[in-house]
Every structure is written in structure tokens, then in C-alpha cells.
Amino acid sequence: MNYDAIIVGSGFGGSVSAARLAEKGLRVLVLERGPWWGPANQDKPAEVRRAYPRGVAGSRKFLRNIHTANSSRLVNADGLFELHRFDALTAITGSGVGGGSHIYTNIQQPADDAFFDRYFPEEITAAEMKGWYRKVRETLRPSPLPPENRPEKNVAFEKAGIAADLGKPTYPDLAIEWKGHGPGTTNAGGLRQQACDHCGTCIVGCENTAKTTLDLTYIPLARRHGAEVRALAEVTAIGETDEGYVVRYVDHRSGMHLQEAAPRLILAAGTLNTVRLLLRARDVQRSLARLGPALGRNFTPNGDMGMAVLGTRSVRNSTRGAAFNAFYRGNDLPGQPYLIGEVGMPLDALPISPVLRRLLRTSVVFVGMGSESRTGRLFLVDGALQAEASRELDPTLYAAIESLADAVGSQYRPRRIWYNWPGGRGARALATVHPLGGASIGRTPEEGLVDHRGQVFGHRGLYVADGALYPHAPGVPPSMTIAALAERIASLME
Amino acid sequence: MKAKNMPTSFNQAVDPASLAMKSPRELDELFAALPPAQADALQGTLHGRLAATVGLASLPPVIRKRVFALTHAEFFPWRGKSFSGDRGANVWVSAKRGIRFAAYSMRVEAAHDRSGPVLRLDYDVKENLAPLRRILGEVRTLGPGLYLGRMYYRIGGRAVRVLYFTLSA
């Protein structure tokens, strides 16, 4: 065998796994369905690197594929966003070397201590997780928005919160290089990043390398220790052998289907793609027919809800400044954290008309998230992934998020607040950018698909190391916890 | 790597278009190295693609590629095979609601060329017309949910290899 470990995906789970396993001396292969993105990867071969999509000219590269219950349509293998459309849930995720780090809002927020005590096996405690969070922090070096760089939209957000008797917001750590690297200094990946220019395009890819994405940190660490990263290589099937696992993937450059094998297989393709691969291996391809009954359970959209505050009178240009740099938490639902933050819109990067762009400059976007009291599930219908998740998971929580958004949003004196975009206030259908769970950690095979080490019960060498691990919604941005759990899994891996 | 029910070699393309570019000898060598398909894994309807047919191997690669592109087009009627227990049939026109025609029974037996065990598809079943009963299929596992098969036609006391195909779940 050519490799000791194959890692499917290179987001917060895959890139951390790749770096730490390569550091241990393992021969690591990373298969990533998307390309290398942005100006930081100009040294990569032209056929596997792409510029971030911008404006009308780059609009072809915004969308990668659309998955629905009836079809799966690949629009562009080198698109940035994936759209998953289920019965009552729309999920938007990212694609590329570095995974969701290219499109997330930079927040590095640990889950609450109580989250681990309540939902995880006893081996994983809040105290123990602090060490893994520290490792992530050492690599991504996040810090809050500097007060001297507060953009207009942030000032308005804080003012609205104070007017609503919520006090000052929380300023979370953001994985952004605020000052830039001068001569002789680098980030943890050994690269130089530019200082943030506050352009506000964080969620469609950062063009000046200020965003501390994983292709600037963990991935270079992995490659320095010998890991091989194959971009535009989409895994379509996985199976078991006597000595490990085999994967089949499409090389999107040539269209050829190829296979690789290794004694360890780490699935980190993003929650929906990881669970789809596992469900198809168990139920369609029958190549992992012994996978347990917990597969697909404990799925959650993390209480996500988008709200547009349209035509405000307090913001003239909502495009400037890092996305989601502050948030307000709700604390009236015991054991169920929830929050709302202001994201802004990267209007100058989107393929929209100048008139619409001008109209939307005075509008802002709130994103809410929270920990629902129940979880849903993922399953297959005629071989296609379907999700059972809607407002019915926790109507009280979603109403509370809408109320919190209302309290803050109304202080902007907007023309209109569009709650729960795109369904509308009270609508059953939701949209999420944080699909989590479905291959969750549990104490037993009945409770979860994987044990506390991330290893699938009854499948030595098969691991899950992405958002699918979550046994419940954390109610906060999940990326840092995914990375911390991946640090833990790689450390314990034999 | 000794495999449970998976192939033993990994450094080659396994899509039908790539397989179509191989010579009959290369396909025979690949087929000989594969483990037999497991009947319990081969259940339901599997998508089928032609990978090679007798006579076409001598054509220039460019023409061969075009011919196989036609067999992969929407209008090509063969959609694959359906399996249920130890029986099965070919699926035509539509994968979901298509016509089931040309049935077979299945069992693991020695390959016709003595290259080890295969899952044999025997078309000598009573519901088939007499000419179809002369067909013999062999299926081995090419990867997870992916199978390589070949068909023989029995003439007198001998069997002539006619084509290779893939099946995918």
C-alpha cells in the first residue's frame, strides 16, 4: 500500500487530521473534491487552482452542485458553494482545499462547557477539550476585531443592542490576520498573510490572504511533513478490505475514476457528504454493510436562521468590515444557548446589478443559531440523501431567535425585516450553513456511529473527523470544535 | 493487498471509458486479478455500461472511443441488471420502470478460463428463448459497489467471449 491513511476532505476536520498524522510520520493522502482557491495558491498547477468567483465574470464559479431528493446535478466541479435542497431544509456548504474555511465567518468559538458534559462520552470533558482548543488556537491564532477597526455596521449593531437593553455584544475571536506579516514573521503554516483591508468579502473567499484559512495553515503543515493533497478528486464510494479500506474517486481533470487503499480511512468531507458516503456504502453499494443503526441520527441544522434587515436608516454601507464580528446571546432558554450576529453582505463581489447593489448597501443580514432540544436525521430515498429537519425540531427556540433578531433589528428602523430567509417568519422550512451530526460520537453503537476516538464502532481504522461527529447542536459556530475534535482524534489514532 | 471482496490492484482507472481503451488481453489480466462478486452484495438494480466488445479492439483508439460513447448515450437501450436473491434479469429502456428481459440464475463457480472463482450468470433458464440460453456471464468485484463482468456465447462445445461490461450501484 502506498499510504498509511487516506483523508476524504480538507476542511476543519480533514486538514487538521492531515497535518497531525503527517507529523506522526504517517504517509497521508488527502482527496479533496474542490480546487485550490485564491491568490495564496498561485504556486499550484494551473489545472487545479482557481481565482475566487467575483462579479458577473466569475459567476460561473459560485455554484458547484445542487443536490435534491430527486437529483444531483454537478454544475461546475470547480465551484465554491454546494447547495443541498431537502424537504424543509436548504443547506449551503463550501468546496475546495481548505473546505468551509474559505466561506465561513472566521469565528473561532469554543462550545459551552456544559455541552460536553451533557452530550459526549465521559472520556471527552470540557476540561480535556481546553487542551485541544489551545492547539487550534496556536495554529489559527485568532483574535477579536481590533476596536480601532470597527466598521460602521458594527457600530450600528452595538448601538442597536444597547438600545434594546442587551448591553455590549460579545466580540469573538476571528481567524483573521489584522496586522499582516512583515519580514521574518509568518503564520503557523510558515506563510505570510496580508493585513485585513476590511473589504467585507470574507464569505466568498478572501482575496488578500488576511483570512487565516486552512490552506494557509494546517494544509502547508501537512504537506511539509509529506502529505499528498489531490485537488478536484471527488470520492464517490468507500469499502472495506481485509487490511483496511478502499476509496473510489473521480479525477475531475481527466474524468477518470481511480481507486486507492490504506489501513486507515478518515472521512471529513463535510457532514452531508460524509454521511451520504457512509449511507450509500451501507445501503446501496453494500461495501460497508455492517455500519450501525445510529448512522444518520442526531442530525441538526444548528438552529441556523438567516434574517435580512432591509433598508436601515443607521447603516449607509454594510459591505465594509469583517463578517460576523460580534454577537448577542439569548439566555432565557435553560441549557439551550442561542445567538444572533450581524454578517453584512459582500455586495461588491456578487453578480448583481449596480442598482440593486446600491439599494442593498443600507441593508444588513443577521444570522442566528441555537441548540435545538431535539435532533433530526439523514437517510436515503432511492439512493439520494434526504434530511428530516425543520422548525418542528424546536419551535420555541426558533421563535426565540426571531424575537432576539426583532429586538435588535427594529432599532435599525428598517423598512422591513425578512425573518427566516427564505421561508419567512414562522415558516417550517429552514436554511443552514452548519449541517451537523449524522455520524455522531456516542457511548455505544446504539447511541452513536463512532466512539470517543472518532472510530466507527466495529470498524478498526475507519474514522469520522468532521461536523458529522456532533451528537447535538452546540448553538454556536461549530468550526473550532470540529478542529479541536480532529486534533484529539489524530492524537489518539493508532 | 489481500482483499475481502475488493480488487487487489489500485493503480488503474476503473471507469468504463478508460476500460474501453484497454486491449482484450489487458482486460483479461485485470479480470483474472479480481475477487468474485458476492451475491448478497449484488442486489437491486445496478447501472450497466459496456466496456469492450469482440471485434472493436482492433479499431483505432479514436474510433473505439466514439463507438463506446454511443453505447453510453441516452438512446442506448441497455440500462443494467437487476438482482434479487439468486436470480436476475437485464434491464432495458429505463432503470426505474424499465423492461426486464433476458433472465439468469447466479452462483459462485470457477471461471470459464480457470482464473479462479466468479459469480456466474447462467442464462440457461426456462423463461429465456433458446438463443438466449446460450449466454454465460461472469462477474467480479472491481471496487466498492462496482463490478466488472464479461459475457460468453456458447457455440457447440465451446464458449466465445463476446463483451465486457461494468455494473455500478
pLDDT tens digits, one per residue of A229-274: 999 999 999 999 989 999 999 999 999 999 999 999 999 999 999 9
Inter-chain residue contact A258 with B12, CB threshold 8 Å: yes
C-alpha grid cell for residue B22?
A: 484497454
Inter-chain residue contact B6 with A284, CB threshold 8 Å: no
A487 three-class SS: helix
A488 three-class SS: helix
Inter-chain residue contact A257 with B169, CB threshold 8 Å: no
Provide the chain B residues 30-89 that lie in CB contact (below 8 A) with chain A: 40-41, 43-44
When mean pLDDT is compared across A390-399, A402-411, A483-492, B18-27, the lowest value belongs to B18-27
A285 CB neighbours in chain B (<8 A) are: 41, 144-146, 169
State the Cα–Cα distance between residues A169 and A159, nearest whole angstrom: 10
Unique residue bearing C-alpha cell 447603516: A315
- Inter-residue contact A256 to A250 (CB < 8 Å): yes
Please, is A307 exposed, middle or buried when counting C-beta atoms within 10 Å of its C-beta (0-12, 13-18, 19+)? buried
- Inter-residue contact A110 to A133 (CB < 8 Å): yes
Residue B1 banded pLDDT, cuts 50, 70, 90: very low
B166 CB neighbours in chain A (<8 A) are: none
How high is the ipTM of this complex?
A: 0.89
Inter-chain residue contact B41 with A289, CB threshold 8 Å: yes
- Inter-residue contact B137 to B149 (CB < 8 Å): yes
State the Cα–Cα distance between residues A241 and B1, nearest whole angstrom: 8
pLDDT tens-digit series, residues A159-183:
999 999 999 999 999 999 999 999 9
Q: To the nearest whole angstrom, how far is the Cα of A260 from the nearest Cα of chain B?
A: 6
Nearest to B6 among A241, A255, A280 (CB): A241
Unique residue bearing C-alpha cell 489531490: A230
Q: Which amino acid is at B167?
A: L
State the Cα–Cα distance between residues B74 and B70, nearest whole angstrom: 9
Residue B91 has φ and ψ, to the nearest 5°, of: -110, 130
C-alpha grid cell for residue A290?
A: 455492517
The pLDDT score that the predictor gives to residue B3 is: 44
State the Cα–Cα distance between residues A359 and A445, nearest whole angstrom: 53
pTM comes to 0.95
pLDDT tens-digit series, residues B113-127:
899 999 999 999 999
- Inter-residue contact A412 to A83 (CB < 8 Å): no
Q: Alpha helices of A230-270 — where are they, by DSSP H?
A: none
Residue B4 banded pLDDT, cuts 50, 70, 90: low
Nearest to A259 among B2, B41, B143 (CB): B143
Q: Which amino acid is at A277?
A: L
Q: Alpha helices of A182-270 — where are they, by DSSP H?
A: 218-224
Top-confidence residue, B12 or A102: A102
Residue A465 banded pLDDT, cuts 50, 70, 90: very high
A381 CB neighbours in chain B (<8 A) are: none
Classify the C-alpha dihedral A143-A147-A148-A149 as positive or negative.
positive
State the Cα–Cα distance between residues A475 and A244, nearest whole angstrom: 36
C-alpha grid cell for residue A80?
A: 465554491
pLDDT tens-digit series, residues A73-93:
899 999 999 999 999 999 999
B130 three-class SS: coil
Inter-chain residue contact B144 with A255, CB threshold 8 Å: no
Q: Which amino acid is at A401?
A: I
| Strand pairing category for A462-464 and A264-267 | parallel
Nearest CA to B52 out of B130, B169, B166 is that of B166
Can you spell out the DSSP letters for A138-158?
Answer: HHH--BPPPGGG--HHHHHHH
The pLDDT score that the predictor gives to residue B96 is: 79
Nearest to B145 among A237, A255, A258 (CB): A237
Inter-chain residue contact B18 with A260, CB threshold 8 Å: no
Inter-chain residue contact A256 with B13, CB threshold 8 Å: yes
Q: Is B127 an 8 Å CB contact of chain A?
A: no
The pLDDT score that the predictor gives to residue B2 is: 39
C-alpha grid cell for residue A325?
A: 464580528
When mean pLDDT is compared across A19-33, A36-50, A393-407, B6-20, the lowest value belongs to B6-20
Average pLDDT on B48-68 reads 82
Inter-chain residue contact B7 with A285, CB threshold 8 Å: no
Q: Is B15 an 8 Å CB contact of chain A?
A: yes
